[in-house]
Every structure is written in structure tokens, then in C-alpha cells.
Amino acid sequence: MKSRAEALALLKAYTESESLLRHAYAVEAAMRAYARKYGEDEEKWGITGLLHDFDYEKYPTPQEHTVVGAKILEEHGYPEDVIYAIRAHADYNGLERNTLMAKALFACDEISGFVMAVAMVRPTRDLADVEVKSVKKKLKDKAFARGVHREDVYQGAAELCVDLDEHIAFIIEALQPVRAQLGLDGTQSA
């Protein structure tokens, strides 16, 4: 398995957008937390989260995203299960999420971005102030964070066999250690 430093270098070679980089860091943190919860390989799961959208900026179409990335990851010697989980997180690939890692990645992807969006509109701009009830309220508001696929949030929790409230609380907690890296530690005003 490649190191986090190598994965981060690959991510940054393909991604310039600060918001996409922050999303990668958030999903990495969520995946690491779920790996700890399930007694899985935290480094592998974290790197899978870190790289899940690394090709998106250059290859954003359904025909390219994760397909091109999978080839690049293969060339760099990433394990098949990491590549499969990354491919399977994009619903349009039609791949069954048949591993716990693949299910966790799908479950962490949209909700991590959504929780970050909720934190960004808080007066404090601090992830520490985000509550489950606030996230659930915003999930019902279709005008808020339109790019987040609500059905994927619900389906992700269901596939991972976790209660939605518990999943949201888990993600909020998982992102706390990287609040500053995400720009959501209250040091910047909204």
C-alpha cells in the first residue's frame, strides 16, 4: 500500500480546487473514523477516502470520473479493493458496493460535504457548532447545497446499516480533528 504522502501528492497532481481538496480531507477523516470503528485498516481506508475524487477536476463526466482514475491508480500500484471502492462510490458506474470499505466510502462522500456546507453557513463558521438536528433540517431544504444528492445520503446510511442520525453524528465527530484544515474552526468569519 502506498503511503499517505504519496496519495496526497497524487491528489494534488490532479486537483487544484481548494474546495475539492477540503472535501477529500473530510472524506479521508470520515473513512479513518469508520475504519477504527469497524477494526479495519485505517491507513488504507483513509487513503481511499483521500483519493476517491482525485480525478474529478480533470475528468468530471460520468464516462470519465473514476474510470480514468482507476487506470491511474492501477499504474501507481494501488490495491484492487481500493480501486474498486473508488469506482463503486459513483452510482453511475453500476458497480455493486460489495465490501464494507466500498459501502463506507459511499456513505461518507455526500454527507461529509453536506456537513461541511452546514458548518459554512453557521455564524461562527465552526464545525464544533453543528448539530444533527441542523443537518437534518438542511437536508429537507432542497435549495441548500443543491449539488448534494440527498438520496445518496439516505442510501449510504442504509447500505452501511447505520441509523441516519447516528451516521450524521459520527461524521460530525469524525471531522472535528481536521476542522482547521477544512477551514471550519471558527477562525474565519462567514
Question: For 15-52, what is each residue's pLDDT tens digit?
Answer: 999 999 999 999 999 999 999 999 999 999 999 999 99
Q: How far apart are CA 49 and CA 112, in angstroms?
A: 11
The domain locations on the chain are 4-182
Measured CA angle at 138 (ends 137, 139), to 5 deg: 90
Question: 190 falls in which pLDDT band (50, 70, 90)?
Answer: very low
pLDDT at position 174 is 98
Question: 189 falls in which pLDDT band (50, 70, 90)?
Answer: low
Question: For 135-164, what is each residue's pLDDT tens digit?
Answer: 999 999 999 999 999 999 999 999 999 999
Residue type, 10: L
pLDDT at 117 over 80: yes
Query: Which architecture, in CATH terms, is 4-182?
Result: Orthogonal Bundle (1.10)
Q: How far apart are CA 5 and CA 187, in angstroms?
A: 27
Q: How far apart are CA 26 and CA 35, in angstroms?
A: 14
Q: How far apart are CA 62 and CA 18, in angstroms?
A: 22
pLDDT at position 38 is 98
Question: 10 falls in which pLDDT band (50, 70, 90)?
Answer: very high
User: What grid cell was written down for 174?
Assistant: 469524525
- Judge contact between 187 and 38, C-beta under 8 A: no
